[in-house]
């Protein structure tokens, strides 16, 4: 199963990178959206999946990256040079809010992250330099879809690779210990706050990079779009449906979510119903397969493998 997942991942990465050679622009936009969703889901999984810290405020990091890129581009900087600046700012902000928030556990931490996300949205809507609730536009001549697509595709692949490396590292083992029993982990010498802050900062920086590319692609941002609570909720739903705490699970969840959203957006009567339908999918998955789509695929694969050896 692991070799099959690796082969599927490599094939998907090659397809994503080579897509501009044989796909038309409309289809490339859909692939761009898939890559964007994979980044968000896999980045959130570093904290929410590996460490078990369920945050519902990740749209704040996406917005920080997006606004950093737009504001610096309006000052004359190349939009792509602003990407690392937005990532650093998001990581710093994640540490600033993480220091008090990680003192809370369970649902209290989750509720606190909702408050942070909404506070950032309100602040961005109230100050003048962000354009207020009207938002901001990128400067003319800053749009290059091919360059943006290539950057998003590479970032999606690197995000999955980083998640895999984190999970297999000593850092990832510490996060797993925190998720399983934080008190026992601390008794064994694991500094839970430091490791959670590290995972938070890493995932926040990755999400901010995706936010910067989002701003470059759409050329317009507003607090109601990049700081939207529904976006934070979607980021959480993708890995849970696909298989939280795994490498392939968030990718599967992102592919299902993005495909579903793209299809629904093409039907005017259903454009605002994707979260309802996806919530229904979440309920079905949690009731019948808590390990997500990946858990279901593994169960089916193992059952067929046992039948194969039984008949051999």
Average pLDDT for 30-37: 93
Residue 194: both structure tokens together: 């430091």
Backbone angles phi, psi at 143, to 5 degrees: -95, 125
pLDDT value of position 10: 78
> What is the per-residue pLDDT for 120?
92
Instruction: Give me the number of domains the chain comprises.
Output: 1
For 2-21, what is the mean pLDDT?
Answer: 76
Q: What is the pTM of this model?
A: 0.92
Mean pLDDT for the stretch of residues 94-110: 91
The pLDDT tens digits of the residues spanning 271-296 come to: 666 667 767 777 777 777 778 888 77
**192 to each of 131, 172, 279, how far by Cα in Å?**
39, 12, 32
Give the separation between CA 165 and CA 172, rounded to whole angstroms: 8
Percent share of the chain, pLDDT over 70: 91
Q: What percent of the chain has pLDDT over 90?
A: 55
Work out the widest C-alpha separation in the chain, in whole angstroms. 72
Task: Check residue 141 and give its pLDDT.
Answer: 79
If one compares 261 and 36, the residue with the highest pLDDT of the two is 36
Query: What's the rounded mean pLDDT across residues 7-31?
Result: 83
Residue 275's pLDDT is what? 65
Q: Is the pLDDT of residue 76 over 80?
A: yes
pLDDT tens digits along 209-227 = 999 999 999 999 999 889 9
Hey, which of 187-196, 258-267, 288-297 has the most confident mean pLDDT?
187-196
Average pLDDT for the chain:
88
Say what the pLDDT of residue 128 is: 85
Alpha helices in 219-291 (DSSP H): 223-226, 229-242, 248-265, 274-288
For residues 62-68, give the mean pLDDT.
Answer: 96
Of residues 202 and 241, more confidently modeled: 202
Burial (CB count <10 Å: 0-12, 13-18, 19+), residue 51: buried
Average pLDDT over residues 185-193: 90
* Residue 298 parent element (H or E): helix 292-311
Kindly tell me if the per-residue pLDDT of 176 is higher than 70: yes
- Tell me the CATH number at 249: 1.10.3470
Contact yes or no for 253/243 (Cβ under 8 A)? yes
- Integer distance in angstroms from the first to the last C-alpha of the chain? 19
Per-residue pLDDT, 100: 93
Q: Which domain holds residue 256?
A: 2-311
């Amino acid at each position: 199963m692991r070799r099959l997942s690796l082969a599927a991942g490599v094939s998907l990465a090659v397809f994503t990178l080579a897509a501009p050679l044989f796909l038309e622009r409309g289809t490339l936009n859909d692939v761009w959206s898939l890559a964007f969703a994979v980044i968000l889901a896999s980045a959130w999984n570093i904290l929410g999946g590996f460490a078990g810290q369920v945050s519902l405020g990740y749209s704040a990091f996406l917005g920080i990256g997006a606004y950093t890129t737009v504001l610096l581009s309006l000052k004359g900087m190349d939009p792509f040079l602003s990407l690392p600046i937005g990532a650093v700012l998001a990581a710093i902000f994640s540490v600033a809010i993480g220091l008090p928030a990680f003192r809370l556990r369970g649902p209290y931490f989750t509720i606190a992250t909702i408050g942070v996300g909404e506070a950032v949205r309100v602040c961005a809507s109230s100050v003048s330099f962000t354009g207020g609730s009207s938002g901001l536009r990128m400067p003319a001549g800053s749009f290059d879809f091919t360059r943006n697509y290539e950057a998003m595709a590479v970032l999606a692949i690197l995000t999955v690779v980083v998640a895999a490396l984190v999970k297999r590292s000593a850092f990832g083992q510490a996060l797993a210990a925190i998720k399983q029993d934080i008190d026992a982990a601390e008794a064994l010498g694991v500094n839970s706050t430091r490791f959670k802050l590290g995972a938070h900062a890493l995932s926040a920086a990755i999400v901010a990079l995706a936010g910067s590319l989002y701003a470059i692609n759409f050329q317009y941002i507003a607090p109601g779009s990049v700081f939207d609570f529904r976006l934070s909720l979607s980021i959480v739903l993708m890995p849970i449906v696909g298989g939280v705490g795994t490498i392939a699970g968030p990718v599967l969840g992102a592919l299902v979510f993005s495909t579903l959203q793209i299809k629904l957006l093409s039907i005017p009567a259903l454009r605002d119903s994707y979260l309802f339908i996806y919530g229904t999918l979440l309920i079905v998955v949690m009731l019948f397969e808590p390990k997500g789509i990946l858990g279901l695929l593994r169960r089916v694969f193992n059952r067929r493998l046992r039948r194969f050896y039984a008949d051999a």
